[in-house]
Structure 1
Amino acid sequence: MAERRLHFLPTKSTFKLGDRLGTGTVGVVYRATSPDLDAPVAVKLLHPNVTGDANIVERFEREIVITERLNHPHIVRHFGGGQMNGQLFYAMQLLEHGSLKDRLARFGPMPWPQVAGFALQIASALQHAHNHGVIHRDLKPSNLFFNDQGDLVLGDFGIARDTYAADITAQGITVGTYAYMSPEQIRADARISGKADLYSLGCVMYEMLTGRPPYLGANFAQVWDQHLNKPVPSVRDAGVDCPRWLDDLVQQLMAKEPDGRPFNARSVEGLLRQQLADEFGDAEYRKLTRDLPEFTDEPAEQQGPRTWVLWLVMGLIVVGLAITAIGRS
């Protein structure tokens, strides 16, 4: 393994591994430090027992190549990769505040202004990735992490498609997570565009608003059938109190055919930005995603008062803006 020619330029930084943060099917993630960096990072180390699988190794290297060319505040930051005792590794931004999946499990659905604010961040990240020829293909709550400021950061590009290179996924093979997969991913279409990520964004927004994925089933076949054939669900019909424009956006993102979805992630970001600015003011809407409660051990059903307080804070923001406008007139 040590003699194998790498497909990327190894970092000159050295890393000292600390606590193990998590273990996956192909790698282990450690907290690590480096004398070349000011803050701790996360180091993902490829399992020794899979280093003989050429496809897994190539996919791991592809993830390094992809992430090292992305530089965006809502995409996990990359600090280079290389080999450590013969094992491939790469270093990335350390995100220690849990995932969106964790938060939804503990606190349940979010108020629509927060959902719109977070969706704006995700759309911005997707557009940056798409601009650099990267289609994520696995956008879901467990791949969205909170940073120190309370913003969402998109991570895990392990099955991302690099449109600048040949796709290493065999033709006819379905990749992704079935609860969030676009119809074209389920069909294993040969050509997948960034609009597949937009479909997944619609699924994630639906879950943030309702507390559950848009389609449920006993197995992947039942869920896939709904993605392919069942009408796109409405969050308002599910009992969510949100503006019609937001419900319309979720349904458009989840259109069965890519041509029925928004033109690109930038157009989604622009719509969200304008609607939130009109509703809360250009400066105030940026604070909506920062009013999240800290993690506790309380289950989601006990978090009602926290949600009520959040809505009260948002209402006070709107009232304050109205009073200011009246005073100026």
Structure 2
Amino acid sequence: MTPPTPEPQRLKFIPTAATFRLGEPLGVGAVGTVYRAESDDVPAPAAVKMLHPHIAHDSGVVDRFQREIVIMERLNHPHIVRHYGGGMMNGQYFYAMELLAHGSLSDRIKRSGPLPWPLAALYTAQIASALQHAHNHGIIHRDLKPTNLFFGDDGRVILGDFGIARDTHDSEGTDPGRTVGTYAYMSPEQICAGGEITGKTDLYSLGCVVYEMLAGRPPFAGANFAQIWDQHLHAAPPSLREQGIECPEWLDHLVAQLLEKDPERRPFNARAVQGYLRDHLEDEFGKDYPQAIRERFAPPNSA
């Protein structure tokens, strides 16, 4: 006997007025399928994520799916994936976003190895700018990692995938006592689950990402999550410069500060990280340091 089709939950967001024509699938995950899409209502090809119909009866999954749409509606920043809204299409929940067709930071590291330190520092400043914008709107990403960082047409880094982001304005969606994130990039307070999750949680993950950009690997590795978690909680990350990795002392210092176990010992906020990098990069490459670094260090056809 075929189970009855569940009644759709009431939408927690205003449906988009845009209509989309689905093209080929770009990827399939546990929650949904992402399609390339076209629309007369948006200026460029889009990516549309459709929630799998067989889990549409799971109120928890639907709530998280809708919460991501609500979160993305609040964010508008050049280094955060652009959002085109969501709604229902053929009885399925969907949301649409900017199509990022140039791969992820993880792809680039796997393909080309560690980045030159000026390029890593430039990308870090861009990520910090995106994080500060999210934090200003009460959003903590909680899953910052190279696979969630993408490249725009002009080569800039763009932060995506807010699927497990914490909305500090939403008391129903805070996952109290639940450990969420990706093992290699999780802060000590995420691992302990009972610790307070603030914007400094994302700063720790940023430290892991910067380390990987410079070393080609995360700061901690192990055979299983328990070994990695133990290092996040208790081990000092190996110094980049002491391993012979080329980077200035001030950048090595910043990475170590971002990876402090105690959140209070990390930088004050993402804006402070961005400003610190700007000052040093201006000293090294001049006021127009972004263009100077891209011209000298960005790989050919990186955009």
Q: TM-score, normalised by structure 1?
A: 0.87
Match of 2:24 in 1: 19
Q: CA deviation at 1:142?
A: 0.1
Count how many residue pairs are aligned between Structure 1 and Structure 2: 296
Query: Highest CA radius of gyration, 1 or 2?
Result: 1
Secondary structure, aligned partner of 1:56 = helix
Secondary structure, aligned partner of 1:128 = helix
Out of 177, 181, 188, the residue aligned to residue 183 of structure 1 is: 188
Q: Take 2:292 and 2:156, find their aligned partners in 1: how far apart are those partners?
A: 10
More moved, 190-199 vs 281-290? 281-290
The one-character-per-residue Cα deviations of 1:186-219 (angstroms, maximum 9, x if unpaired) are 0002520000000000000000000000001000
Q: Are the counterparts in 1 of residues 168 and 174 from structure 2 also a CA contact under 8 Å?
A: no
Task: Please give the residue correspondences for 1:66-105 in structure 2 after superposition, counting only pairs within 5 Å.
Answer: 66-105=71-110
Q: CA deviation at 1:154?
A: 0.1
Which amino acid is 1:87 matched to? Q
Out of 238, 244, 266, the residue aligned to residue 261 of structure 1 is: 266
Match of 2:217 in 1: 212
Out of 149, 158, 162, the residue aligned to residue 163 of structure 2 is: 158
Q: CA deviation at 1:289?
A: 3.8
Q: Take 1:278 and 1:33, find their aligned partners in 2: how far apart are those partners?
A: 44
Match of 1:225 in 2: 230
Question: Unpaired segments of 5 or more residues in structure 2?
Answer: 1-5
Give the alignment's Cα RMSD to 1 decimal.
1.4
Match of 1:323 in 2: none
Q: Take 1:58 and 1:179, find their aligned partners in 2: how far apart are those partners?
A: 27
More moved, 63-72 vs 32-41? 32-41
The answer as to 2:134 corresponding to 1:149 is: no
Q: Take 2:7 and 2:280, find their aligned partners in 1: how far apart are those partners?
A: 53
Q: Take 1:240 and 1:207, find their aligned partners in 2: how far apart are those partners?
A: 11
Q: TM-score, normalised by structure 2?
A: 0.95
Match of 1:168 in 2: 173
Q: CA deviation at 1:148?
A: 0.2
Q: CA deviation at 1:230?
A: 0.4
Q: Take 2:199 and 2:294, find their aligned partners in 1: how far apart are those partners?
A: 25
Q: CA deviation at 1:237?
A: 1.6
Secondary structure, aligned partner of 1:184 = helix
Q: CA deviation at 1:223?
A: 0.2
Q: Take 1:160 and 1:37, find their aligned partners in 2: how far apart are those partners?
A: 26
Q: Take 2:291 and 2:240, find their aligned partners in 1: how far apart are those partners?
A: 23
Q: CA deviation at 1:3?
A: 4.1
Task: Please give the residue correspondences for 1:1-329 in structure 2 after superposition, counting only pairs within 5 Å.
Answer: 1=6, 3-289=8-294, 291-294=297-300
Which amino acid is 2:25 matched to? R
Q: Take 1:66 and 1:241, find their aligned partners in 2: how far apart are those partners?
A: 38
Secondary structure, aligned partner of 2:171 = coil
Question: Unpaired segments of 5 or more residues in structure 1?
Answer: 297-329
Secondary structure, aligned partner of 1:113 = helix
Report % sequence identity: 63
Q: Take 1:3 and 1:211, find their aligned partners in 2: how far apart are those partners?
A: 45
Q: CA deviation at 1:247?
A: 0.3
Which amino acid is 2:270 matched to? A
Q: CA deviation at 1:50?
A: 1.1
Q: Are the counterparts in 1 of residues 114 and 212 from structure 2 also a CA contact under 8 Å?
A: yes
In the TM superposition, structure 1's runs of 4+ consecutive aligned residues that sit over 4 Å from their partners are none
Q: Take 1:234 and 1:105, find their aligned partners in 2: how far apart are those partners?
A: 22
The one-character-per-residue Cα deviations of 1:218-239 (angstroms, maximum 9, x if unpaired) are 0000000000000132111222
Q: CA deviation at 1:277?
A: 0.3
More moved, 181-190 vs 56-65? 181-190
Q: Take 1:144 and 1:59, find their aligned partners in 2: how far apart are those partners?
A: 21
